[in-house]
Amino acid sequence: MNNRLRVLRAERQWSQADLATKLDVSRQAVNAIETGKHDPSLPLAFRIARLFQLRIEEIFDDGFQHD
Amino acid sequence: MMVSNMTDDQIDPPAMSLGTLAMRMFGATVAAVFFSGAAAGLIGALGKEEQVKPIGWVIMGVFAALTLAAFWFAWVSARRYYRENGPLTPRARRATISAIAASGIGLVMGMWMSVAGDVHSQPFDVAAGPLQPSVAAALIAVIVLVIAPITWFWHRNIDEHEEQSYRTGALIALYFYSAVAPIWWLGHRGGFLPAVDGMAIYLATMAVWGVVWFRQRHL
C-alpha cells in the first residue's frame, strides 16, 4: 500500500526515530511502513492520522480508483 | 504547506544497520574466544615450568589485552548502534532489554550445560550427552520459571511490525517442521536415512524461524 508518511514526516523535519517515539513503535516499524513492507493495523493507522491531523485515506492509498 | 529544506541525511542520518552490528559482534566473539583460548593455553603451558620467563608474561598480557579489546569493541559497537538508531521508545527499550536478558541467560545455560556435560570418560556431545539429574532439573526450572515469563513480557512490549515478523517466521518454520519431520521419518523407515534426530530438527526449525524473522524485521 502506498503512503505519504515519509513526505509528511519530512515536512515536519522529524526523523524516523522521532516519529517512532510519537507513535510508540520501533524505528524499524516506521521504516517498514514508509517503504511499503508493512501495512499498519487499523488502530496504528488511526494513531498516524490523528498525529498528522489528516484522514487515513489522505495518508494511505490502496490504489482503488472510484468511477 | 510547510516544505522542508533538509536533505535526506539531515532528516534521517545514516545509522548502523543491525546486520553490521551482528557482523561486528560475531567478529568480537570470535576474537575474544581465540585470544582468551590462546591466553588460557599459555597459562597452562607456563604453569608446568618452574620459572616463567618475562617474555612469557608479556605474551600472556598481550593476549589478555586483546581479549579485553574484543569486548571493548563489542561494547562500543552496541552503544553506537543504539545511539544512531535511537532513541528507543520506553516500550522498545523494555522489549530490547528482555530479549537481551533472555539471550544472556540462554548463553549462561549453554555454557553450564557444556561444562556439566563434559565428562572425561565419554566423547564430548553437547546435544545428546548425559547430564546430571540435578543439572537437567535446574536447566528445566530456568526455562519454565525464568525464560517463559521473560518471553511473555517481551511479547507484551513488541510493536505490531515485530509481531508480524515473528508470526511470519513461525508460520514458515511450522511448514519447514511439517515437511522435514515426516520426510526424515519416512526415509528412516525406508532404510536410506538414519534415525530421526528430534533435537536436530528442533534446532533447524528455530534457525529457519530466526532467519525469516530477521529478514522481515531488519532487511
**Average pLDDT rounded to a whole number, residues B123-138:** 78
Taking the Cβ of residue B19 and every Cβ of chain A, the question of whether any pair is shorter than 8 Å is answered with no
> Is residue A13 scored above 80 in pLDDT?
yes
Q: Given this model, what pLDDT does residue B69 score? A: 94
The span from the CA of B162 to the CA of B170, in Å, is 12
The C-alpha of B18 sits at a distance from chain A's nearest C-alpha, in angstroms, of 10
Triad B65, B67, B68: Cα angle to 5°: 65
pTM: 0.74
Read off the pLDDT of residues A16-64 as tens digits, 9 standing for 90 and up.
Answer: 888 998 999 988 899 999 999 999 999 999 999 999 999 999 999 888 8
Whether residues B161 and A25 touch (CB distance < 8 A) is answered with yes
**B 113-142 near A (Cβ less than 8 A):** none
C-beta pairs of A46-52 under 8 Å, 24+ apart in sequence: A47/A23, A48/A5, A48/A23, A51/A22, A51/A23, A52/A8
Residue A14: list chain B partners with CB under 8 A.
11
Whether residues A29 and B160 touch (CB distance < 8 A) is answered with yes
**A 25-64 near B (Cβ less than 8 A):** 25-29, 32-33, 38, 40-41, 44
Q: Given this model, what pLDDT does residue B205 score? A: 97
The span from the CA of A40 to the CA of B78, in Å, is 29
| Biggest CA pair distance of chain A | 39
Q: Which of A8-12, B60-64, B123-127 has the lowest mean pLDDT?
A: B123-127
Question: Concatenated DSSP letters for B76-117?
Answer: HHHHHHHHHH-PPPHHHHHHHHHHHHHHHHHHHHHHHHHHHH
The span from the CA of A57 to the CA of B132, in Å, is 62
Residue A60 C-alpha cell reads as 494511505
